[in-house]
Structure 1
Amino acid sequence: MKKWFLVVFVVVNTVFVSCITNKDVVYLQDHSDGNDTIPVLRELPKPYKVQVNDLLSINVKALDEELTRIFNPIQGNTNTNSSNGQSQSSLYFNGFTVDDHGKIKFPILGEITVLGYTTTEIEALVKKELLEQYFKETAELFVTVRLPGVTYTVTGEVNGTGIYTIFEDRVNIIDALANAGDVMLTGNRKDILIVRQYPDGQRIHHIDLTDIKAMNSPYYYIQPNDIILVKPLKRKVFGAGQTVMQNFATVMSILAGITSLYVLTKSF
């Protein structure tokens, strides 16, 4: 009797403990006691500062369009609503890539250091240099500098691994994962890894997307060239099922095999 009780206990424990629960898959859960106000994002992320290998779209406008033609090699093909491939390929050949020394090569002006500058700061810098070397104040000069969307990589336990671009200035990590088909049931939402580029190299950061406090994390908003890694839950590593029925079927199959083996050995 005790043996059967032990078998039943093991079966029930495996079925109900090993399956994936709501706490594993629901985003931004409120873990407070219910008396506190749900925290919200305290402040927007600081403006992004340009890094090595970033691609910049720079557009120069003036009263005389003929004078600006040399500065706008992709003029007329900068529609951000165009297909991802066409937009990115055009900018790859005609945009301005930040080299290993943090510089871009700009027509007439030559090399300009942009590493560590925001796009607003680069606009002011390019406009200043153009007014000093090429244009007059009466030209009504207007310079815009933009990053061609946020390009990032997603890999691991997601439904669509790959490199993606979202044409927005700010993209949070949930939007980024949703764009990649979302995290699979077997993905560990409690420990998402973000590999981020800095001037001195790459660093790995962690964020728990099942906790609403993630909205206050400095890594809630992704940056260009981020790599998002989604690890599998330990349940998947150990081969457990995703639902109660899957675990029950697995355990019953094992018990059936053990029973059959026991019967066969008794018959000899």
Structure 2
Amino acid sequence: MYLNGDPTTKTTIKKINDAPYRLQVDDVISIDIKSEKNEKLVAFFKKNVRTTNTVNNNTDQGYSNQDERIEGYSVSKHGTIRLPYIGEMNVLGYTTKEVRLKLEQEILKYFKDLGDIFVSVDLTGIKYTIIGEVESTGPKVIFQNRITIFDAVSFAGDIPLTGDKKNIEVWRNSPSGPKRYLIDLTEASAFDSEVFYILPNDIINVKPLKQKSWGTGTTGLQSLTTIISVFSLVTTTILLVRNL
């Protein structure tokens, strides 16, 4: 069962949703330049575009295929991308809009008339990793600009009965280091969470229910059946020992 009750703070939700994403190491961005007068510039960027292997196995609804390749520029461990003419350009911590504005200024150094040039910068997709009690663990890429934690879990095959939907753990990079968040998917208050929307490089950990850890079943009936079976086995053993 998901999303019981009502969200509590709609204002907080709006603030979280409106926060622009800032680029991190290993993000891949697409840069599209269009121009009728400066075909040389357009050709140079298309010629020098990088490709990165994807890691998924689903081509539906914007998901990638395992042998597909993402076209774009990967953010290096130094926080830079390498561009024709321009060379190394720092993008770490920038929004895609800020990268576009910075790129336009750099292009002006080589091409005087920017009026004919249209520049767009976007994330190529959202890459995350999911582990624990889901049908399909590992790194995933979804080719959308925004995805919820429900999208991320659904793409991994959903959470089986053995998974704890009330205590989902999300690890997220921040300037001060990795941060840990907990979110309860069974309550509508999940909409209020900072991790309701998944960001690139998030790690989602779906923990097992305690019943699974104890080996007593995933539902109340299964647990009761297991306990009765154990009790019956112990009783039978005692009776056999007494009759020896």
Task: Give the TM-score normalised by the residue count of structure 2.
Answer: 0.85
One of 13, 23, 37 as aligned partner of 1:42: 13
1:122 matches 2:87: no
Are the structure 2 counterparts of residues 256 and 117 from structure 1 closer, same or farther at C-alpha, using a change threshold of 3 Å? same
**Higher RCO, Cα 8 Å, sep 6+:** 1
Q: CA RMSD in A?
A: 2.4
Structure 2: gaps (5+ residues): 52-60
Alignment of 1:101-180 (within 5 A): 101-131=78-108, 133-137=109-113, 140-180=116-156
In the alignment, the residues of structure 1 paired with residue 240 and residue 181 of structure 2 have an alpha-carbon distance, to the nearest angstrom, of 55
Calculate percent identity across the aligned residue pairs.
40
Deviation at 1:39, TM superposition (A): 6.0
1:217 matches 2:188: no
Deviation at 1:199, TM superposition (A): 3.1
In the alignment, the residues of structure 2 paired with residue 125 and residue 233 of structure 1 have an alpha-carbon distance, to the nearest angstrom, of 49
In the alignment, the residues of structure 1 paired with residue 94 and residue 32 of structure 2 have an alpha-carbon distance, to the nearest angstrom, of 17
- Amino acid aligned to 2:147: V
Q: Which residue of 2 aligns with 1:67?
A: 41
- Amino acid aligned to 1:97: S
One of 65, 76, 80 as aligned partner of 1:84: 65
In the alignment, the residues of structure 1 paired with residue 136 and residue 67 of structure 2 have an alpha-carbon distance, to the nearest angstrom, of 21
Structure 1: gaps (5+ residues): 1-25
In the alignment, the residues of structure 2 paired with residue 247 and residue 233 of structure 1 have an alpha-carbon distance, to the nearest angstrom, of 12
Q: Deviations over 1:146-202 (max 9, x none)?
A: 111111111001111121111111101011101100112111111111111223432
In the alignment, the residues of structure 2 paired with residue 234 and residue 248 of structure 1 have an alpha-carbon distance, to the nearest angstrom, of 14
Bigger Rg, structure 1 or 2: 1
Q: Tell me which stretches of 4 or more aligned residues in structure 1 moved more than 6 Å.
A: none
Are the structure 2 counterparts of residues 242 and 149 from structure 1 closer, same or farther at C-alpha, using a change threshold of 3 Å? same
- Amino acid aligned to 2:93: G
Q: Which residue of 2 aligns with 1:97?
A: 74
Q: Which residue of 1 aligns with 2:31?
A: 58
In the alignment, the residues of structure 2 paired with residue 83 and residue 117 of structure 1 have an alpha-carbon distance, to the nearest angstrom, of 25
Q: Which residue of 2 aligns with 1:28?
A: 3
Are the structure 2 counterparts of residues 232 and 39 from structure 1 closer, same or farther at C-alpha, using a change threshold of 3 Å? same
Are the structure 2 counterparts of residues 203 and 120 from structure 1 closer, same or farther at C-alpha, using a change threshold of 3 Å? same
Deviation at 1:235, TM superposition (A): 1.6
How many residue pairs end up in the alignment?
A: 230
Are the structure 2 counterparts of residues 138 and 45 from structure 1 closer, same or farther at C-alpha, using a change threshold of 3 Å? closer
Are the structure 2 counterparts of residues 58 and 85 from structure 1 closer, same or farther at C-alpha, using a change threshold of 3 Å? farther
- Amino acid aligned to 2:216: A
Deviation at 1:38, TM superposition (A): 7.0
The structure that is strand-richer by fraction is 2
Task: Give the TM-score normalised by the residue count of structure 1.
Answer: 0.78
